[in-house]
């Protein structure tokens, strides 16, 4: 398999290193990732500035290509400018922090996989639901397993697999659930602060609602100790509302 790997935490993040190392066991891996942190950039692409690409090393060895753009930029660059062969699979991650619920709209990790899906390539996003003492090994191992299945099975055009894992040792994971996207919002708020020069600034923070009434949601699966896999697509049309909108006599 020809595998393109990206992320939004940056090419020097530990999650992408664990992912690329594991994926090299099953295919030829090309890493094209942001040169620095690009979390929560969504599906932004760069159109007013040049994209600069440099070779990145990890542990003294060539690891991949660091790009000045977003995750979506990196996938475009990888497929259309860097890789000699079109990839069979795009994998984005392993993200530090879960990407479930409405958070997927903001996620650069999910958008990296979305770009792959939009370009007609089977794609997945992989996230670890923690910011404290992450163990990326179970996530990397599961991504390898899922890659093998995606090679054999068909994923619908324009659909990607959004994978979230709880931060548990492999032996304590309860299993895998195929889930729906939670409709739970991220509860954010702003801390008002003052810098040393007396200027006011705001720092956004927040957390998820602890519960979701949809028992089949990604959030509930994670909270129960299961790996969550949600097939997602980005046709945003509200088809149910179309007839009513037609009756507005615009």
pTM of the full predicted structure?
A: 0.94
Q: Is the pLDDT of residue 137 over 90?
A: yes
pLDDT of 207 higher than 80: no
CA angle, 90 then 65 then 26, to 5°: 40
Per residue in 74-94, pLDDT (tens digit) is 999 999 999 999 999 999 999
Per domain, the residue ranges of the chain are 2-182+213-246
pLDDT at 111: 98
* Close Cβ partners of 180 (under 8 Å, ≥ 6 residues apart): 214, 216, 217, 218, 230
- Can you give the pLDDT at residue 212? 76
pLDDT (tens digit, 9 = 90+) per residue, 152-183?
Answer: 999 999 999 999 999 999 999 999 999 999 98
Judge whether 96 and 35 are in contact, CB under 8 Å: no
The predicted model gives 15-24 an average pLDDT of 98
Topology classification of domain 2-182+213-246? Stationary-phase Survival Protein Sure Homolog; Chain: A, (3.40.1210)
Residue with tokens 């999910």: 110
pLDDT at 236: 92
Q: What is the dihedral of CA 8, 9, 14, 15, to 10 degrees?
A: -40
* Residue 119, burial from CB neighbour count under 10 angstroms (0-12, 13-18, 19+): middle
**pLDDT, averaged across the chain:** 95
Alpha helices per DSSP H over the chain: 14-23, 71-77, 108-118, 137-152, 218-223, 242-246
């Amino acid at each position: 398999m020809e595998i393109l790997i990206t992320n939004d935490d940056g090419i020097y993040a530990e999650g992408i290193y664990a992912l690329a190392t594991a994926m090299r066991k099953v295919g030829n891996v090309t890493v094209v990732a942001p040169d620095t942190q690009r979390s929560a950039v969504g599906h932004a692409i760069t159109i007013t500035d040049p994209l600069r690409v440099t070779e990145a090393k990890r542990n003294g060895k060539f690891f991949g290509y660091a790009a000045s753009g977003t995750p979506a930029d990196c996938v475009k660059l990888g497929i259309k400018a860097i890789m000699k062969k079109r990839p069979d699979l795009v994998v984005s991650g392993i993200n530090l922090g879960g990407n479930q619920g409405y958070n997927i709209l903001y996620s650069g990790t999910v958008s990296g996989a979305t770009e792959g899906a939009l370009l007609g390539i089977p794609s997945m996003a992989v996230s670890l639901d923690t910011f404290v003492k992450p163990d990326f090994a179970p996530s990397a191992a599961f991504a390898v397993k899922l890659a093998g299945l995606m090679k054999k099975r068909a994923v619908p055009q324009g659909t990607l697999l959004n994978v979230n894992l709880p931060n548990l040792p492999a032996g304590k994971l309860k299993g895998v659930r195929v889930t729906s996207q939670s409709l739970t919002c991220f509860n954010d708020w702003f801390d008002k602060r003052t810098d040393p020069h007396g200027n006011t600034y705001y720092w956004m923070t927040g957390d998820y609602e602890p519960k979701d009434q949809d028992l089949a949601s990604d959030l509930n699966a994670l909270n129960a100790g299961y790996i969550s896999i949600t097939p997602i697509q980005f046709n945003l049309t509200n088809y149910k509302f179309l007839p009513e909108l037609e009756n507005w006599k615009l």
